[in-house]
Structure 1
Amino acid sequence: MIKPMSVKVIPNCLTLLRLLATPVAVWLIGENMMATAFWLFAAAALTDAVDGAIAKLFNACTRIGGYLDPLADKALLVGVYVSLGFADHLPRWLVILVVFRDIVIVGGAVLYELAIGHLVMRPLLISKVNTLGQIVLASMVLGGHGFDMDIEKALDLMIGFVSGTVVLSAVAYGWVWGRAALVGGDDA
């Protein structure tokens, strides 16, 4: 008899789908198929909210999900941002800023683990706001180009918002982790 799929598997399956959607989204942007890229990106971004909600609601958090989820998030956003930058749909300075922030956060977490000890990762509110802003901006760019909408002024505002929250979140992580390192805590 086949056992029904455990609820614990669903969030990880959604996360894997998001990870697998990344190279397809990058390819679609490279082929200038922006409307299709918009829908794929929107669906992939939605899986991030859904997998997290299921994991919390049904107590279905897993160790592998704890690693895969942020990896899938970073892969999707960095892949889409780099592709949009190469296609000249996003300013390259913003792409560099977004990617550099992610490198600093991941590198900082690794250094903390190696030099200080175990790091309990807790996303900061400013980081969640930044991620939401990045998703909205990428959706606006993809949708604007895919559906031939003139949204330049709104894009300029979102670029300012995203660049500001990128910097604030990087500084906030540095502050929290630095403070935790000084007091010797693992609860950053």
Structure 2
Amino acid sequence: MITTTIFRQINRPGLCKGLTDLLRHGGVGPHGSALNRYAGAFKNSLLFDCYKLDVGTLRAYADLKKNSLALKTIQRKEIIQDVIEKNRYIFIERKNVLVKDIRDKKTLVKERVREKIEEVVERENIFTIPNYLTVGRAILSPYIGYVIVQGDMPLAIGLLVAAGVSDFLDGQIARKWPSQSSKFGSFIDPMADKLLIGSLVIAMGYCDLMPVWLAGTVLFRDVFLIGAGFVIRYISLPPPRTFTRYFDATHVTAQLEPTFISKVNTAVQLGTIGLSLGAPVWNYVDHSVLHGLWYLTGATTVAAALSYILNKNTYKILGKSK
């Protein structure tokens, strides 16, 4: 390859004259071993005799061409590296701009989602008279159970009557004055009733004023309904479902609709509990009517639980206010 290149170069017109001068000024490189292999070919060549070039001159010329080629290769590599480095810098700049744009849009989307959530989730005033009565009844419930365990039945009956009156009043006020009505009340009113009845049946079962099987049935049904209420709250609460938003009473997400049999069951339970409390006071502990009321209460309690399971209209998830 080197011999052929040299032959092509020295065959050009006028090249032989300036070739020696060029090599003298350019110097002879250290890589001349390639021409030694082709010295015989040069000695036998008519072109070699014509221009009277010796092997050392040809070797120097070949080394010069080789060095020139190596220099061009290095220059090309540097150009390619410069282009790669420049493109890399441009790529990094574009990547940073794209990442920043994505982060900005993500933040904007989160803000818009929060705004939409505030629009979807209804807020209402929970500080109403019916709600105060309901909360007071819920707070009073454990104390009534304590009074029963202490054996003060007249006081327990009086507190139970007061709790029943508060339950009647909060419903009447909410129906007659719409400004006092709240969807939050539809949740806490049945919860307060369950807490009251649960406190009473636990205390009465402990004092043998009510059969244990009836107390267990009533408790199981109430625990089931309370647990269902927490599940409905979780399902109806739009994301993000944080602890603070979950227990924020002003965020109303669902409304309960008690079934007819549930209302009947509540009345039967309160009547049975009242008569059972009065049994040791008026001496009719083993009366057959009282035993009949216990079985009736157990039957209506089971029927009420089934009505909540089978009826799909017992609660309504609230959407965006119109």
TM-score (norm: length of structure 2): 0.50
**Rounded Cα–Cα distance in structure 1 between residues aligned with 2:160 and 2:283:** 17
Uncovered stretches (5+) of structure 2, i.e. residues with no partner = 1-126, 238-252
Uncovered stretches (5+) of structure 1, i.e. residues with no partner = 1-7
RMSD: 2.5
Residue correspondence of structure 1 range 107-186 to structure 2 within 5 A: 107-112=227-232, 114=234, 120-150=255-285, 152-177=287-312, 186=317
Out of 25, 44, 57, the position equivalent to 2:144 is: 25
Instruction: Please name the residue that 2:153 is paired with.
Output: 34
Residue correspondence of structure 1 range 86-97 to structure 2 within 5 A: 86-97=206-217
Instruction: Please name the residue that 1:103 is paired with.
Output: 223
Q: Is the CA contact 2:174–2:181 (under 8 Å) kept in the aligned structure 1?
A: yes
**Rounded Cα–Cα distance in structure 2 between residues aligned with 1:153 and 1:31:** 26
Give 1:137's aligned amino acid. Answer: T
Give 2:196's aligned amino acid. Answer: L
**Rounded Cα–Cα distance in structure 1 between residues aligned with 2:191 and 2:232:** 18
Give 1:176's aligned amino acid. Answer: N
Instruction: Please name the residue that 1:66 is paired with.
Output: 186
Give 1:46's aligned amino acid. Answer: V
**Rounded Cα–Cα distance in structure 2 between residues aligned with 1:137 and 1:85:** 13
Is the alpha carbon distance of 1:66 and 1:171 closer, same or farther for their aligned partners in structure 2, counting shifts above 3 Å? closer
Instruction: Please name the residue that 1:49 is paired with.
Output: 168
Q: CA shift at 1:79, angstroms?
A: 0.2
Q: CA deviation digits over 1:1-44, x for unaligned, max 9?
A: xxxxxxx7321222132122212211110111111101111110
Is the alpha carbon distance of 1:21 and 1:113 closer, same or farther for their aligned partners in structure 2, counting shifts above 3 Å? closer
The alignment partner of 1:82 has SS state of helix
Kindly tell me the number of residue pairs found equivalent between the two proteins.
176
**Rounded Cα–Cα distance in structure 1 between residues aligned with 2:138 and 2:256:** 20
Q: Is the CA contact 1:25–1:40 (under 8 Å) kept in the aligned structure 2?
A: yes
**Rounded Cα–Cα distance in structure 1 between residues aligned with 2:143 and 2:296:** 27
Bigger Cα displacement from structure 2, 102-111 vs 77-86: 102-111
Is the alpha carbon distance of 1:94 and 1:157 closer, same or farther for their aligned partners in structure 2, counting shifts above 3 Å? same
Instruction: Please name the residue that 2:202 is paired with.
Output: 82
Give 2:202's aligned amino acid. Answer: V
**Rounded Cα–Cα distance in structure 1 between residues aligned with 2:283 and 2:148:** 15
Is the alpha carbon distance of 1:131 and 1:88 closer, same or farther for their aligned partners in structure 2, counting shifts above 3 Å? same
TM-score (norm: length of structure 1): 0.82
**Rounded Cα–Cα distance in structure 2 between residues aligned with 1:77 and 1:63:** 22
What is the percentage of aligned positions where both structures have the same residue? 29
Larger C-alpha radius of gyration, 1 or 2? 2
Q: Is the CA contact 1:41–1:139 (under 8 Å) kept in the aligned structure 2?
A: yes
Q: Is the CA contact 1:36–1:146 (under 8 Å) kept in the aligned structure 2?
A: no
Q: CA shift at 1:103, angstroms?
A: 1.8
**Rounded Cα–Cα distance in structure 2 between residues aligned with 1:18 and 1:151:** 30
Give 1:41's aligned amino acid. Answer: L
Give 1:168's aligned amino acid. Answer: A
**Rounded Cα–Cα distance in structure 1 between residues aligned with 2:177 and 2:286:** 40
**Rounded Cα–Cα distance in structure 2 between residues aligned with 1:108 and 1:145:** 36
Instruction: Please name the residue that 1:3 is paired with.
Output: none
**Rounded Cα–Cα distance in structure 1 between residues aligned with 2:285 and 2:157:** 16
